[in-house]
Amino acid sequence: MTNADLRSLIVGVEHVVPLAGVRELPYANLDNAASTPALKAVKAEVDRLLEWYASVHRGAGYKSQLASAWYEKARETVAEFAGADPDYHSVILTHNTTDAINRLAAKFPRDNDRSVVISHVEHHANDLPWRERGRVVRVPVSPAGEIDPDELERTLRREGGKARLVSVTGASNVTGTIQPIHELARVAHDHGIPIAIDAAQLAAHVPVEMSGTDERERIDFLMLSGHKMYAPFGGGALIGSREFFASREPSVRGGGAVKVVESNAVDWADPPERDEAGSPNVAGAVALAAAMRELRRIGADVLEDAEHRLTRHCLEGLAEIDGVTVYGLGAGELDRRLGVIAFNVEGVPHALVAAVLAHEHGIGVRNGCFCAQPFLTDMLGIDEEAAQRFRDAIRAGDHSHTPGAVRASFGLYNVEDEVDRLLEAVAAVAAGRFDRARYRVDPATGEYRPAGHVPLRDHELLFNGQPQLMKRARV
């Protein structure tokens, strides 16, 4: 499949957006690590579902039965996609990865004597929920954010049997580094501890095989989000050991999660229903499954080739621009990284770089700390005293000087032309070829905007009036 073939599989890639000045350009969406646009196959499947949509699991009517079957089929697809073992794993359909991790964390009663082992590169989603459960111990990582299995081994030995779970990311959302998840699983299992993998970044880009070829390398729990894999309908999954789920109280309580309810007693349903109280998100589940089928149809090799090409081109191009620092592994190590590229431009705040890319070049990237503040602080070489000053300023409501980086991240549909536009734009920023005096920072958010820019307001959003939106947004 060519790049153009892949691009044709995605909804909304042809849109032109207004820039500062009376100009417009096709939008280059290089923020796929945050959320990806929808696959056409996903949109088509959701459209089909809506024709037949009805309540799930509680209706005797035909539509209800059909919607229920559709939902259960989606569950099977998720299990297959993740290489789950039907005899061992159970799939709980969630809202996203954050929801999945919180649900898993809720299964661990608070115990201040025992720990959950995470790494220093985790997204806040795989850090904060564990803090409520007892001690959180962090495995140190390399400057590129890689978790070394030997470091995990040392950490678990130091814990001396107090660790209850290892929960680490499958790929960093900051540097794109792919973690050696099966080696980490082996280390955890050798200590008799289960391992959970946050696959929010990994799942759309690299095939995941929870079962592995060797039982010791099995992934016990996996969490993922549909909106990061071309299915933006609020679906996600927590896949885990059925036996574990069956032995714990539900993560959320209510209808649908029970067998018998008396005034003073309840028998909980078996997994996965035990953890799906309330009316499920059928569209989210069906969309997630459709995305997974489409990604499998495209094939892992095709995806890898397309994303490697863009990543190599971008890394090589950025390396040639004076004043640009790129974090993470280089173009020679594409097998160990995703197309998630964090960088900074000397002398230009990350938020200003992102603003110039958006307002003058029609390029969408992310900037900031990427919900990984402790790792970012170290990656940027900020000492504790300076970090404290930044935190104090934020607490006082001033985000203008918050440290961070710019992140460009690719999806299967991006093309080299978009990378070229990014490289040209970054080169222009690094060479000072933009009107710096025109940009103002908003201390409340830390965002930069060109003078005269009018933020979009709700009532101006699309509906039938896209041209109106365009005119209004021009400055």
Ligand X SMILES: Cc1ncc(COP(=O)(O)O)c(C=O)c1O
Taking the CB of residue 385, how many other CB atoms lie within 10 A of it?
Answer: 7
State how far the Cα of 377 lies from the Cα of 186, in Å rounded to an integer.
30
For ligand X, the binding residue among 32, 68, 77, 98 (CB under 6 A) is 98
318 counts as binding ligand X under rule CB under 6 A: no
Look-up of token digits 């020679």 = 332
Distance CA 345, CA 431 (A): 10
Residues in the chain: 475
- Residue of 152, 171, 177 lying closest to 163 (CA atoms): 152
Output the smallest distance, CB 173 to ligand X, in A.
3
Q: How many CB atoms sit inside 10 A of residue 143's CB?
A: 13
> Which amino acid type is present at position 253?
R
For position 96 contacting ligand X by CB under 6 A, the verdict is yes
Return the number of the residue (145 or 317) whose C-beta is nearest ligand X.
Answer: 145
Among 3, 90, 97, 281, binds ligand X (CB under 6 A): 97
Instruction: Pick the closer one to ligand X by CB: 96 or 115.
Output: 96
When the beta carbons of 3 and 96 are compared against ligand X, the nearer one is 96
Euclidean distance between CA atoms 23 and 395, whole angstroms: 38
Measure the CA–CA gap between 468 and 419, rounded to whole angstroms: 29
Instruction: Label residue 80 left, alpha or beta by phi (over 0 means left) and psi (-120 to 50 means alpha).
Output: alpha
State the binding string over 187-226 for ligand X (x if CB under 6 A, else -).
Answer: -----------x-xx-----------------------x-
Closer to ligand X at the Cβ: 201 or 344?
201
**Residue carrying structure tokens 């602080």:** 377
Residue 369 bears catalytic tag: no
Q: Does 340 bind ligand X (CB under 6 A)?
A: no
Q: Which among 311, 359, 316, 360 has a CA at the least distance from the CA of 337? A: 311
**123 lines the binding site for ligand X (CB under 6 A):** yes
Q: Is 281 in the site for ligand X (CB under 6 A)?
A: no
What backbone phi and psi angles, to 5 degrees, belong to 59?
Answer: -120, 145
Least spacing, CB of residue 223 vs ligand X, in Å: 8
Show the tokens assigned to 270.
């078996």
Contact between 344 and ligand X per CB under 6 A: no
Closest separation in Å from C-beta 354 to ligand X: 16
221-260 footprint of ligand X as x/- string (CB under 6 A): ----x-x---------------------------------
Q: 125, 184, 283, 408: which one contacts ligand X (CB under 6 A)?
A: 125
Angle of helix 300-319 relative to helix 416-430, nearest 10 degrees, comes to: 20
* Of 39, 196, 237, 371, catalytic: 371
Q: Which residues contact 295 (CB under 8 A, 6 or more apart)?
A: 81, 204, 229, 230, 303
**Does position 173 bind ligand X by CB under 6 A?**
yes
Show the binding pattern over residues 434-473: x = contacts ligand X (CB under 6 A), - = does not: ----------------------------------------
Q: Quick one: 41 or 125, whose CB is closer to ligand X?
A: 125
Q: Which residues bind ligand X (CB under 6 A)?
A: 96-98, 123, 125-126, 169, 173, 198, 200-201, 225, 227
